[in-house]
Amino acid sequence: MSSIVFLIQCPDQKGLVAGITSFFTERNYNILHCQQYTDVQDGQYFMRIKLEDEGHLERPSLEKQFGTFASTLGLIWSVKYTDQPYRVALLVTRASHCPYDLLLRELEGELKCDIPLIIGNHNDLADMAKQFDKPFYHLPISKDTKQQQEAQIKALLTEYNIDLVVMARYMQILSEQFVQEYAGRVINIHHGFLPAFQGAKPYHQAYDRGVKIIGATSHYATADLDEGPIIEQDVERVMHGNSPEDLVMIGKDIERLVLARAVKAHIEHRIIIAGRRTIVFSEGA
């Protein structure tokens, strides 16, 4: 069954739930699920509402009418139709565990998206792409060619009509211009539990500090390195006897899970970015 999902945010005010739900019921839409959250400290309201796509209105007409209604309440909103899967591009370097996991989840239907291409700054994962019957584009990068390489990436994203870019252990820093152009549409996995242990070799940093838990963080990429709005995190308890190599292996398992959860939340239209934070609504609705 096809559904329509609206994400809404606005200053908190009386009558929001009644007004928004009435808008849809008056047009004979069946509300399948409604989740809401009020940030009482900042006075902001957030809603995710899912409707049965029964075709009472043409989609452009629905959006136009809702836009007019939204302007009266100061709503910021977006809409996603579930019969239009997200098209996702993977950016990779040499590590295979995260992109391989996402490709497998797409193949088995756990991620309801299309991954039509993989872009790598090294050629190491070309065989992985071939295994999943995906085109692989090898776009090397150096300090002198960064601008040209990113232009090539953007051209491919446009050619393949990409909705979401996933840095699946892509060990390059995207330019400020790139992340601004694709704001809210680039997800990164940091192999460390942010905001601790930023930068290179976080597991070795964690070992040096003798930490008792290690973790991974998935976040939206921004111009500030490793400081974008956090989508998903997880941790695993470790012992003093674990070597740095042990931590790396444990960390890889966490990274797979955390990145998959973040991508799933995005493609299911469950995330609202609110400043430096995210509001992530529960899945299964």
Question: How many Cβ atoms from other residues are within 10 Å of residue 236's Cβ?
Answer: 14
Q: What mean pLDDT, rounded, does the chain reach?
A: 92
pLDDT of 256 > 80? The answer is yes
Q: Compute the distance between CA of residue 44 and CA of residue 177 in angstroms, rounded to an integer.
A: 29
pLDDT given for residue 83 in this prediction: 94
Domain 86-280 class, CATH top level: alpha beta
From the list 200, 92, 189, 103, the residue with the least C-alpha distance to 139 is 92
Mean pLDDT to the nearest integer, 68-72: 96
Mean pLDDT to the nearest integer, 64-86: 96
| pTM over the 0.75 mark | yes
Residues 6+ apart with CB under 8 A from 52: 1, 3, 4, 29, 30, 31, 32
Mean pLDDT to the nearest integer, 248-254: 90
| Residue of 53, 101, 163, 226 marked active site | 226
Mean pLDDT to the nearest integer, 234-244: 86
Cβ atoms of residues 236 and 214 within 8 Å: yes
Q: Compute the distance between CA of residue 166 and CA of residue 111 in angstroms, rounded to an integer.
A: 13
pLDDT given for residue 203 in this prediction: 66
Identity of the amino acid at 45:
Y
Q: Compute the distance between CA of residue 266 and CA of residue 42 in angstroms, rounded to an integer.
A: 24
Mean pLDDT to the nearest integer, 4-19: 96
Q: Which two tokens stand for residue 16?
A: 């929001």
Cα torsion 240, 243, 245, 249: sign: negative
Q: Which two tokens stand for residue 180?
A: 């601004």
pLDDT given for residue 193 in this prediction: 63
Question: How many Cβ atoms from other residues are within 10 Å of residue 55's Cβ?
Answer: 10
Pure H helices in the chain: 16-25, 59-73, 97-107, 126-131, 146-159, 176-181, 202-209, 244-267
Mean pLDDT to the nearest integer, 126-147: 94
Mean pLDDT to the nearest integer, 27-48: 95
CATH code for the structural domain at 3-81: 3.30.70.260
pLDDT given for residue 199 in this prediction: 67
Mean pLDDT to the nearest integer, 19-42: 95
Known catalytic residue at 226:
yes
pLDDT given for residue 205 in this prediction: 75
Q: Which pLDDT band holds residue 36 (cuts at 50, 70, 90)?
A: very high
Mean pLDDT to the nearest integer, 227-243: 89
Burial class (CB in 10 A: 0-12, 13-18, 19+), 201: middle
Give residue limits of the domains in the chain: 3-81, 86-280
pLDDT given for residue 207 in this prediction: 67
pLDDT of 195 > 60? The answer is no
Q: Among the listed ranges 129-138, 142-151, 180-189, which one has the minimum average pLDDT value? A: 142-151
